[in-house]
Amino acid sequence: MRQACPTRQLFAAPPPFHTIRNPACSMVQEPRQLNEDLRKAAALWTAQGPRLFLKRGSTEILETELIALMPAGAQALIHDMLALAHRYQALSDTREIRFRLEKINHDSCCRFHVDTVPLRLLCTYTGPGVQWKHNDSETVHETPEGWLTLLKGRLYPGWSADTSVLHRSPPLSGHAKPLTRLLLTLDHPDACGMNRRAPMMDT
């Protein structure tokens, strides 16, 4: 029996990431709640970690460089991000990945769009998650904190605009209190012109 695309409904149990290989499916979401240790670790990185960490590399290289930057007490965040990196790597069948961890406190990417990448994994550890809508709908959905979102981009083999899912960063300027999102983005190693240079960090 053919599995329905999870972008059209929510399942009691999270669908596996490999559902994204269904030609009619452009997005898979995995609902989850962050445990207390992970929440605390994410808050520590948001308070003390660099504003941006951007690196192309294997999970082993990423682990070494992330641990060197890790605020004391943020081990749970490192472990979770590396587990997601392993899952993405297995799904995309790449030896390296493009890893981006960024603190965002402004309106960014406010237009709904499709990324020019093969496959993108997003996880917001603090703050509101990515907003998305179907190409043929004006209904906007906002992803809860901690959920995993896997999106096909324009470079995914067989990608079609007819079944595409558009997404954007949630606007932050309308909130009464200042917000900072901690966003992890995992991509194909060559995404966005990434090369093998040293990690980009912005404190």
pLDDT surpasses 90 at 38: yes
Per-residue pLDDT band for 69 (boundaries 50, 70, 90) equals: very high
Q: Give the residue with greater pLDDT, 201 vs 28.
A: 28
**Span 163-185, mean pLDDT?**
85
Q: How far apart are CA 20 and CA 24, in angstroms?
A: 9
User: Quick check: 46 pLDDT over 90?
Assistant: yes
**Cβ distance 73 to 44 under 8 Å?**
yes
Q: What is the pLDDT of residue 83?
A: 95
Instruction: Determine the Cα–Cα distance for residues 195 and 172; give it in Å rounded to an integer.
Output: 31
CA atoms within 13 A on the CB side of 27: 27
Contact (CB, 8 A) for 95 and 58: yes
Nearest alpha-carbon partner for 78 in 91, 90, 68? 68
* pTM of the entire predicted model: 0.88
Q: Which residue has the tokens 């682990």?
A: 63
Say which amino acid occupies 179.
L
Least confident of 93-97, 124-128, 181-185, 199-203: 199-203
Mean pLDDT of 80-109: 90
Indicate whether 9 pLDDT > 60: no
* Average pLDDT rounded to a whole number, residues 53-69: 95
Q: What is the pLDDT of residues 99-158, one digit of tens each?
A: 999 999 876 767 899 999 999 999 999 999 999 999 889 999 999 999 999 999 999 999
pLDDT at 57 over 90: yes
